[in-house]
Amino acid sequence: MSHSSVFVVTFLGAAVEVIEMVVIVVGVGSVRGWRSTWFGAAAGLGVLAVLVLAFGTALRAVPIGVLRVVVGSLLLVFGLQWLRKGIRRVSVNGLRGMGERSASAEGVPASGVDWTAFVLSFKGVLLEGLEVAFIVVSVGLAARALVTAAVGAAAAFVALAGAGLLARGLVQRIPRSALQLAVGTLLSSFGTFWAVQGLGIGWPGEDGAILGLVGWYLLAAACYVWLLRHRAHRPAVQEPAGQEVGR
């Protein structure tokens, strides 16, 4: 395999993982706030750098399946919670903006570290970063071009992380009621995908199955929104005038 081929393969392979990383960080930051999200992402990158420097090619021995189950389960739990809140808000407010909300109204600490945002960002970055490291090590060693593979992965990270930063402003313009619904859908989809994959069960279409999971959760959310709205607009049953209570 030529060096150009190694670069393209690692760039594309790493791009898939980096996209997932960026989606998690931007989504969590938009809902929970950016300060703790950035701390979590930076900590994840720091731990990843230490692991790569310390173990290098031995990273292939890391039990990635166990890590996928743990991280996937965590994302699924938080994702379903946010999805439930998003469904309730959209059923009441539609897709209209909800204005600026105070931190306490969202359960976000007014000061200090928001550990929910920190942990979700940290684990998402660390897991996807390890996936990228595995791609670099596997392709680089097989083609005897480890440096070229690392450069390809680094190029994918810089390009897509930069795109994520540019998209941050657009994401923040999404109505708040819809944003929590969207982020809950994405976290639930990634969590389901990783948890099942960590159990050794293959998904049809590999990473493309995430799109199917997103569609499934969106369909379920739309059904629940319709049901809640239908119940809210259903007229209450009233007792006929003059009828005695208990009669």
Predicted confidence band of residue 247 (pLDDT cuts 50, 70, 90): very low
- Provide the mean pLDDT of the chain: 80
- Among residues 72, 14, 28, the alpha carbon closest in space to that of 193 is found at 72
User: What pLDDT sits at residue 75?
Assistant: 82
User: What pLDDT sits at residue 39?
Assistant: 95
Task: Reply yes or no on whether the pLDDT at 104 is more than 50.
Answer: no
Structure tokens at 126: 């660390």
Instruction: Please give the Cα distance from 62 to 72 (Å, whole number).
Output: 17
- Over residues 37-62, the pLDDT tens digits come to 999 999 999 998 888 887 776 766 66
Task: Reply yes or no on whether the pLDDT at 22 is more than 80.
Answer: yes
Predicted confidence band of residue 99 (pLDDT cuts 50, 70, 90): very low
Predicted confidence band of residue 33 (pLDDT cuts 50, 70, 90): confident
User: What pLDDT sits at residue 205?
Assistant: 84
- Over residues 216-229, the pLDDT tens digits come to 999 999 898 888 88
